[in-house]
Structure 1
C-alpha cells in the first residue's frame, strides 16, 4: 500500500474529528444558554452522533477521490450523485450512536470507560458499514465474493479502530498529566487517526498494473480483414511480442483481427504489466509492445510494485497526460493511476493512446 493513501485516510479522520468536535461544541453551548448553563442530557448524545456522521462522510469522500486520483471533475460528480445516500447512511450511523449511548448509560453495572469503548466501537462499525455500502453501490465487484469480503473488512476494522482508540486514550490519559478539558478533543483526534489508518488497510484496492488500449487501436471488422487476406494484403497491426512475457488481463475473443493474429492489441483490451521486468514500447521488431510507424524503443516501463516508472527515450514521440509537474533530465517519470500515455509517429499521422491503471479491479 502506498504511504500517500495511508496519510490521506489519517488526515480525513483528523479533519472529521475536528469538524465534529467544533460543531458539537457550538450546539452544546447554545443548549447551555437555553438551559441556564446546564444540559438536560449527557454531552455524548450530541458529540458521538456528529462524530459518526462526519467520519462516514469523510471516509466515503476519501475513497471516491482515491479511486480516480486524476479525474477531479468526475470525482465531484460521483460524490454529488452519491451525496444524498451518504448523508442518509451517515445520519443513520449518528442515530445508532446516539440511541446506543442512551441505552448504555441507562444500563446498570457499566462504567463510563466501558460505555465509551462500546459506543466508539459502534461508531467505527457504523462508519465501516457506510463506506462499504457506498463502495458496493458503485463497484462492478460489489456483489461478488471479493466485494463481500471487502465490506466485512471495513466493518471489522472500523469496530477494532473504535475499541482500540478508546483503550489507547484511556491508558494515555491515566499516565499523562493532560488537563481534563483536553481529554475529549485529544481522544477524538486519536480516534480519527486510528480509524483512518485501519480503514486505509481495509479498503486497499486490488492492485493489477495494466495498460488499457484506447484511441488508435480500434478493432478491425472481420469482413475487411478477410477481404484483405484474399487480396494478399498484410496489415501491419499493433501487437504483443513475444507471447508469454506478459498477457492481456482478459484474453480477447477469437474473432476479428484476433482470428488471424492472437497477439493483436485492440481498443478496450488491457495489457497486464509484469513486476520487475522492463517492457519496451515502439515500432521495432524486438519491442515488447509493437506499434507500427512509431520510433523503435521510444519508451520503457518498469514496474516495481507498487510503483511504475516510464522512461521516454524519444520525447517527441511520447506524451503523458496529466503532464509531470517536474521535468526529469533522464526523462524518467513515475506513472499514476488513470494517466494517459500517447505515442505518435514522427509526422504525427499515427497516434496510439493507452490509459495506465495501477488498481485495475477497483471501480472506475
Structure 2
C-alpha cells in the first residue's frame, strides 16, 4: 500500500504543478516567452509539497489533525526550496537554450529535470527533521538526507532519459498526442520520484514493540502522596541496552507505557525474568518466550513450559506452537502469582497482572 500511495502522490503532484504552470503561461500570459521559468518552479513546488505531505500522512495515518499541525513548517520549507531551486533550474535552462552556447536541447532538459529532483529530494530530506523524533539521530538524519537527494537525482535522470525516448516516438504521432508530451513526461517524473521515495523513506526500523498495559509509569511525587499504592522497587522492567534501544531516547533502559522498542532487523531476543533476557520483566517466568527476526519476519517462540503465560490478540495460547507475528498484533504476557501458600515448584498464572506489547512490522511515526 505504501508504494502505491507514493506513486499516486508523485503523479498527482506533477500534474497539479504542470496545470498551475499552464494557468500562468496560457491564461495569464506570464513569461510565455520563457516557459521554463514558470513550469519548473511550479512543478518543483508541487512535487516537493506533495512528497512531504504524503510522508507525513503515511507516518501517522490515523491522526489527520496531528498531521496537518505538523505539516505547516515542512510545507513552508518545501515551498521555499521548490521556488528557489525551480527558478534557478528554469533560468539555467533558458540560458543554456541560447544559440550562443550550442548545447543540445536534450541535455538542457535533462539538467533542468535533475535540478527539479534536487529540489524535491532536499525538501523531503530536510523536512523529515520536523516530522518525527526518529530524526533526532544525526547519523540517521544525514543518511536519510543523502538518500533522498541522491535518489531524487537518479529518478529525475532516468525519467528524463525515458521522456526523451518517448518524445521521439511522439513526434510521429498526431498533433493532439504530441501536445500531451509535457504532461506525460512530468507524470513519468512524478512516478519515478514517488517510487524512489517509497524506498528511500521506508522506515529503518522494520520491527518494533510498543509497550502498553502493565508498564504504566508512576512518578516519585505520586508515590510520596500514596506510598501504599505502589512498590518502588529497583527491579523494574527494562531492556538490554547492548542490543535494544528505545526510539525516543537511546539512553533509557526502563520500559514504560507508550515507549517503542526498536529491534534490529536480524537476531533473537529473550523475554522473561532472568538477568540474561533482552527484555527483562521481573514478575514473568524466567524465560517466557523468544522473538526471532529473520527476512523481515518475526516469529514468537513460546517456552515449552510457559506458553500458557502468553496471549495473542486476547486469545491465550493453547500449544507451544510458534506464532508468526503480524502488524498490530497484541502480545500479552501473564505474570506469576506470588503468595505465601505457593510452593517453589508451583507456578500459578496471575491473569490480573499483565504486560502487553503492540507489535509493528512497519514502523509508523512514534509521535503519531
- 1:224-243 matched pairs, under 5 angstroms: none
**Over residues 254-301 of structure 1, what are the superposed CA-to-partner deviations in whole Å (9 max), with x where a residue is unaligned?**
9xxx9xxxxx85546654557688989899xxx99787999xx99997
TM-score (norm 1): 0.67
Counterpart in the other structure of 1:96: 88
- Cα deviations by residue, 1:182-215 (Å, 9 ceiling, x for unpaired): 2111111111111212232332331241213234
Q: Is the 8 A contact 1:211 1:357 kept in 2?
A: yes
Name the counterpart of 1:42: 34
CA distance in 2, matches of 1:92, 1:115: 18
Equivalent residue, structure 2, for 1:119? 112
Tell whether the 8 Å contact from 1:307 to 1:335 is kept in structure 2 after alignment: no
Note closer, same or farther for the CA distance 1:41–1:214 as it changes in structure 2 (3 Å cut).
same
2:158 corresponds in structure 1 to: 164
Partners of 1:49 and 1:137 in 2: how far apart? 23
Post-superposition CA distance 1:47-82 (Å, at most 9, x none):
221111111001111221233344433223212353
Does structure 2 retain, via aligned residues, the 8 Å contact 1:135–1:142? Answer: no
Specify the alignment match of 1:356 in structure 2.
Answer: 359
Tell me the SS of whatever aligns to 1:210.
strand
Shift of 1:125: 0.7
Give me the whole-angstrom Cα distance separating, in 2, the residues matched to 1:71 and 1:20: 27
Deviation digits for residues 195-240 of structure 1, max 9, x if unmatched? 2122323323312412132342135789x9xxx9xxxxx9997688
CA distance in 2, matches of 1:357, 1:6: 18
Residue of structure 1 in register with 2:197 after alignment: 199
Q: How many residues align?
A: 326
Shift of the alpha carbon at 1:123? 0.4
Scaled by the length of structure 2, what TM-score is found? 0.67
- How many angstroms apart in 2 are the aligned matches of 1:77 and 1:341? 32
Q: Tell me, in whole angstroms, the C-alpha distance in 1 between the residues paired with 2:327 and 2:117.
A: 34
Which piece of structure 1 moves more, 348-357 or 66-75?
348-357
Tell me whether 1:66 sits opposite 2:58 in the alignment. yes
Structure 2 equivalent of residue 231 of structure 1: none
| Partners of 1:206 and 1:359 within 8 A in 2 | no
Q: 2-side partners of 1:271 and 1:163: how far apart?
A: 39
In the alignment, is the contact (CA less than 8 A) between 1:248 and 1:270 conserved in 2?
no
- Distance, in Å, in 2 between the alignment partners of 1:114 and 1:167 is 10
SS in structure 2 opposite 1:82? helix
CA–CA separation in structure 2 for the residues paired with 1:159 and 1:235: 52
Q: What is the root-mean-square deviation in Å for CA atoms of aligned residues?
A: 4.7
| 1:109 to 1:70, Cα distance in 2 relative to 1, 3 A | same
Unaligned regions of 5+ residues in structure 2, if any? 228-232, 302-306, 315-322, 336-348
- Quote the Cα distance in structure 2 between the aligned partners of 1:116 and 1:123: 11
User: Is 1:217 the equivalent of 2:215?
Assistant: yes
Verify the 8 A CA contact 1:213 1:267 in the aligned structure 2: yes
SS in 2 for 1:108: coil
Determine the structure 1 residue equivalent to 2:296: 306
CA deviations 1:331-361 (Å, max 9, x no partner) are 987315xx87677899985454434344669
2:140 is the counterpart of 1:146: yes
Give the corresponding residue for 2:15: 18
Could you say if the C-alpha distance between residues 216 and 146 of structure 1 is closer, same or farther in structure 2, counting changes exceeding 3 Å? same
Contact 2:243-2:278 within 8 A present in 1 as well: no
Change (3 A) 1:218 1:80: same
Mean alpha-carbon deviation: is it higher for 49-58 or for 197-206? 197-206
CA distance in 2, matches of 1:352, 1:81: 38
CA distance in 2, matches of 1:142, 1:247: 19
Q: From the superposition, tell whether residues 238 and 192 of structure 1 become closer, same or farther in structure 2 (CA, over 3 Å).
A: same
Match of 2:43 among 42, 51, 57: 51
